[in-house]
């Protein structure tokens, strides 16, 4: 398992351990929340697992009203937009995430820069996704 | 050894000598091959000195996803068959919404290499077979399916996040975005090939007239912005983007004939030279250096400027990838027309309008002309071709004798960007 740096392993860890388990490059120290077998910075192959704290800041977001099929199945749509965005993890790198615990119909109440934490309370068993909620 | 920053020149020059566009819109009974033949017919019939189809030696066709839109893979040979140009080699290029930008680039490289003298390049997309949520899913598959799409990010969603970042960082507001759309519809209203040949004012008046006919309360719109700020008329798609911030879902095709410069005058007295080409690659938005800029656009523009030996000051007009209104603002900053954060003010001041000092999207852009994604890159080139030849009719730029034009074609959210500098040789 140690060198299984794949999306399957990422989402399994999210589901089973409730954590973002990414990678760190042993050669240059580059951190990536998405597991990858090769360092995109120094091009080395010596990657090791790295656990992220789950603390982050919200960089930017959108509230989506015209939703994909998968989100429509969960009841989202014109009358119930959901929020997604990009957060900067405490350790430095950014990741795309659902933003939970906010009202997608009132984006003016959602503030860039706010502290958020990883939210694994409501993970979809079939297709788990990364979510952060206000800290 | 690094070769990435080496300044490159083509081994020989390439010109455009013919251009054809299908009607853009929703055509329930047409498949992508039919649209491509329509574009090809338009090209053949508009070529100054005609040409022999047998002269075509190779072809590159941009198409994003006939597989998902039409359940048809391997579309390039079908196009060759419909044009009757088998067995010449034809290759489909897929780089999301930059597919035909990349196809044109491959055509240029094929001629510059000496392999061919005459190459057909183009693009096509048949999008309206699917309902809106299906199209949303297909377009989202141009983003990272493992780490962006599961986060709920749609294609408008990612550009919505860019817009929010731009609004936070600069003085950009929602009206700036809407004004991009107003301007592009003013241009599109003058384009007989456009999907929406209507100004926003005309759409507003139509809505008011319809309310009156039906005995409903007539909305009290005084200006275009009143209309666009009405959530009934202009609903949210991905806040802060609304319906009129988004390019439509479109069926359409485009093609141009590329030839080696030395034979260009066999086809027309007014060839348009491809003076500079650039293509660069970017990362998903979350891994990009900035959330208010597309790094691939800046890199591709630099390549194209360097090859053409021009600076941004030399560019008379540009077609940029306004898949969303914010994308046009970001494009005009990435290309260097305006400093970062100054794009919105330039829109306010009319600098990007038909009579401005930097006319942008005289065709109506993707917003008003339509955005058949695989055709859009070559569609942009065709607008510049006509403008530089002085044959853009009612939407001809006001400045006299435009000689240098630029196209900026983005795939996905900047995973690919293709920039071309085109020049009329005097």
The residues with which B416 forms a beta bridge, in sequence order, are B281, B411
B137 touches chain A (CB under 8 A): yes
Over the stretch A59-117, which tens digit does the pLDDT of each residue have? 999 999 999 888 999 999 999 999 999 999 999 999 999 999 999 999 999 999 999 99
List the domain boundaries for chain A: 7-51, 55-134
Tokens representing residue B118 in the block:
């005459």
Mean pLDDT of chain B: 96
Q: How confident is the model at residue B400 (pLDDT cuts 50, 70, 90)?
A: confident
Lookup result for tokens 């060759």: B80
Alpha carbon dihedral B123, B128, B131, B133, in 10-degree steps, equals: 30
Mean pLDDT, residues B250-255 taken together = 98
pLDDT(A2) > 70:
no
What pLDDT sits at residue B425? 85
For residues B12 and B114, is the Cβ–Cβ distance under 8 A?
yes
**How close is the nearest chain A Cα to the Cα of B151, in Å?**
5
For residues B380 and B419, is the Cβ–Cβ distance under 8 A?
no
Report CA-CA distances (Å) from B293 to A16, B128, B158, B337, B417.
37, 30, 12, 14, 12
Over the stretch B283-309, which tens digit does the pLDDT of each residue have? 999 999 999 999 999 999 999 999 999
A130 touches chain B (CB under 8 A): yes
The residues with which A83 forms a beta bridge, in sequence order, are A63, A99
pLDDT(B382) > 60:
yes
B231 touches chain A (CB under 8 A): no
B166, B371, B386, B408: the catalytic one is B371
State pTM to two decimals.
Answer: 0.97
3-class secondary structure per residue, B374-397: HHHHHHHHHHHHHHHCCCCHHHCC
Over the stretch B166-211, which tens digit does the pLDDT of each residue have? 999 999 999 999 999 999 999 999 999 999 999 999 999 999 999 9
CB contact under 8 A, B154 and A68: yes
Report CA-CA distances (Å) from B79 to B2, B51, B326.
39, 19, 34
For residues B53 and B85, is the Cβ–Cβ distance under 8 A?
yes
Query: Which residues of chain A does B134 touch, with a Cβ-Cβ cutoff of 8 Å?
Result: 69
Mutate which of A65, A73, A118 to test chain B, going by most B C-beta atoms within 10 A?
A65
The backbone torsions φ and ψ at residue A23, rounded to the nearest 5 degrees and listed phi first, read -135, 160
Over the stretch A7-18, which tens digit does the pLDDT of each residue have? 999 999 999 999
For residues B145 and A55, is the Cβ–Cβ distance under 8 A?
no
Tokens representing residue B181 in the block:
């759309």
**How close is the nearest chain A Cα to the Cα of B239, in Å?**
5
A93 touches chain B (CB under 8 A): yes
For residues B409 and B101, is the Cβ–Cβ distance under 8 A?
yes
For residues B315 and B422, is the Cβ–Cβ distance under 8 A?
no
Over the stretch B21-71, which tens digit does the pLDDT of each residue have? 999 999 999 999 999 999 999 999 999 998 999 999 999 999 999 999 999
For residues B284 and B148, is the Cβ–Cβ distance under 8 A?
yes
A126 touches chain B (CB under 8 A): no
What pLDDT sits at residue B303? 97
pLDDT(A1) > 60:
no
Q: CATH classification of A55-134, choosing from 2.60.40, 2.40.50, 3.30.70, 2.60.120?
A: 2.40.50
CB contact under 8 A, A62 and B164: yes
Helices B174-188 and B325-334 meet at what angle, rounded to 10? 90
- Count of C-beta atoms within a 10 Å radius of residue B46: 14
Tokens representing residue B26 in the block:
């929703």
CB contact under 8 A, B236 and A81: yes
User: What CA–CA distance (Å, rounded) separates B270 from A109?
Assistant: 56
Alpha helices by DSSP H, B229-310: 295-308
């Amino acid at each position: 398992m140690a060198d299984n740096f794949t999306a399957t392993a990422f989402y399994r860890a999210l589901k089973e351990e409730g954590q973002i388990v990414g990678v760190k490059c042993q050669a240059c120290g580059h951190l990536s929340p998405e597991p990858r077998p090769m360092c995109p910075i120094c091009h080395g192959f010596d990657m090791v697992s790295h656990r992220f704290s789950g603390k982050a800041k919200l960089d930017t977001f959108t509230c989506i009203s015209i939703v994909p099929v998968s989100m429509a199945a969960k009841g989202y749509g014109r009358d119930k937009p959901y929020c997604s965005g990009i957060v900067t993890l405490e350790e430095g790198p950014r990741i795309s995430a659902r933003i939970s615990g906010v009202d997608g119909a009132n984006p003016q109440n959602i503030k860039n820069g706010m502290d958020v934490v990883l939210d694994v309370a409501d993970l979809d068993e079939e297709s788990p996704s990364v979510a952060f909620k206000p800290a | 050894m690094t070769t990435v920053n080496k300044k490159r020149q083509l081994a020989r020059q390439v010109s455009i000598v013919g251009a054809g566009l299908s009607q853009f819109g929703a055509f329930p009974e047409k498949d992508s091959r039919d649209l491509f033949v329509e574009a090809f017919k338009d090209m053949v019939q508009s070529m100054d000195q005609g040409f022999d189809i047998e002269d075509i030696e190779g072809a590159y066709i941009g198409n994003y996803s006939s597989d998902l839109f039409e359940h048809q893979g391997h579309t390039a040979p079908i196009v060759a068959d419909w044009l009757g140009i088998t067995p010449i080699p034809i290759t489909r290029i897929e780089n999301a919404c930059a597919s035909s930008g990349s196809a044109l680039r491959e055509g240029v490289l094929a001629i510059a290499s000496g392999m061919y003298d005459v190459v057909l390049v183009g693009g096509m997309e048949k999008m309206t077979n699917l309902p809106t949520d299906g199209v949303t899913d297909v377009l989202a598959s141009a983003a990272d399916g493992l780490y962006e799409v599961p986060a709920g990010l749609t294609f408008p969603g990612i550009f919505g996040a860019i817009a929010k970042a731009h609004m936070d960082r600069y003085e950009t507001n929602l009206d700036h975005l809407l004004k991009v759309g107003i301007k592009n519809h003013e241009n599109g209203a003058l384009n007989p090939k456009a999907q929406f040949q209507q100004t926003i004012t005309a759409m507003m008046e139509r809505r008011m007239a319809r309310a009156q006919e039906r005995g409903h309360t007539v909305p009290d719109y005084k200006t275009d912005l009143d209309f666009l700020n009405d959530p009934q008329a202009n609903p949210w798609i991905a806040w802060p983007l609304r319906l009129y911030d988004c390019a439509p879902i479109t069926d359409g095709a485009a093609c141009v004939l590329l030839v080696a410069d030395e034979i260009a005058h066999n086809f027309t007295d007014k060839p348009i030279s491809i003076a500079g080409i650039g293509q660069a690659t970017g990362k998903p938005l979350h891994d990009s250096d900035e959330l208010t800029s597309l790094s691939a656009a800046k890199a591709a523009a630099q390549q194209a400027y360097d090859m053409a030996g021009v600076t941004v000051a030399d560019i008379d007009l540009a077609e940029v990838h306004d898949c969303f209104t914010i994308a046009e603002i970001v494009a005009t900053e990435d290309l260097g027309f305006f400093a970062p954060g100054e794009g919105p003010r330039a829109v306010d001041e009319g600098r990007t309008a038909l009579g401005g000092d930097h006319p942008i999207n005289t065709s109506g852009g993707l917003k008003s002309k339509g955005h058949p994604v695989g055709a859009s890159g070559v569609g942009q080139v065709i607008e510049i071709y006509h403008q530089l030849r002085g044959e853009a009719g009612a939407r001809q730029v006001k400045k006299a004798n435009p000689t240098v034009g630029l196209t900026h074609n983005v795939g996905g959210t900047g995973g690919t960007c293709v920039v071309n500098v085109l020049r009329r040789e005097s």
